[in-house]
Amino acid sequence: MAFQEHVERLADETVRGFPAGGGIYAVTFRIDSVDQDARYPYVAIGYTTEADAAESALRTSDAWEGRWSYAFFPETGLEGVRTVGRDPEGAESHRLEAESRGLRYEDEDDEPDDDRDEQLVEWFYEVCVGAARHLHESGRIVEVLGRPVPVVLYDMFEPDAMFELTSAANPAELVTGFMTA
């Protein structure tokens, strides 16, 4: 199974397990990697609710930040409810596909390669954007939550990427409020 398909399948299963009627206003994808090593990426898939946003609003005077900044996300939005990519099948699928793309290297064989690392990060971003789009196109989000909600993609170590990734992953009308930071 291709890595993209693996991430899409597990994202779908994860969203299927979200609580219906729980006031979820955003699905969250926290993009990360083990020890900040681009060869070992993962995405923590979760959500945040209207109740979480209301609580965050009490802690900040910036309405946008209280609703959309990962700094204010609850554990379900920050840590997610499932991590995809670190699972054995995902890690192996990623390794094999990275090798086939010429992006994989081993510590004992090669020095760290900034160019390959950058390509690995960009590829993983594409995989995550594709998985978010799949959730919209398959109708899974609407099926579970009863309405379309945005998928917010963020990498805490590359905060500027958040807007481009989230914009690419969602229909424009779902991210209007998010994009008005």
What are 75-114's pLDDT values in tens digits?
A: 999 999 999 999 999 999 999 999 999 888 876 555 667 8
The pLDDT of residue 181: 67
- Max CA distance (Å), the chain: 52
Share above pLDDT 70 across residues of the chain, in percent, rounded to a whole number: 96
pLDDT by residue (tens digit) across 122-133? 999 999 999 999
Mean per-residue pLDDT over the chain, rounded: 93
99 contact partners, CB below 8 Å, separation of at least 6: none
pLDDT above 70 for 1: no
Residue-range domain boundaries for the chain: 3-176
**pTM above 0.75?**
yes
Tokens read off for 137: 């196109």
For 44-60, what is the mean pLDDT? 94
Q: What string of DSSP letters covers 9-23? A: HHHHHHHHTSPTTS-
pLDDT above 70 for 178: yes
The pLDDT of residue 8: 98
For 167-172, what is the mean pLDDT? 97
CA-CA distance, 28 to 71, in Å (whole number)? 13
The pLDDT of residue 104: 85
Q: Collapsing DSSP states into helix, strand and coil, what is residue 50?
A: helix
Using the CB atoms, write b or e for 68-101: b if 16+ within 10 Å: bbbebbbebbbebbbbbbbeeebbebbeebbeee
Pinpoint the alpha helices (H) of the chain: 3-16, 50-57, 63-68, 75-78, 88-100, 114-137, 140-145, 161-169
Task: Answer whether 27's CB lies under 8 Å from 166's CB.
Answer: no
The pLDDT of residue 180: 86
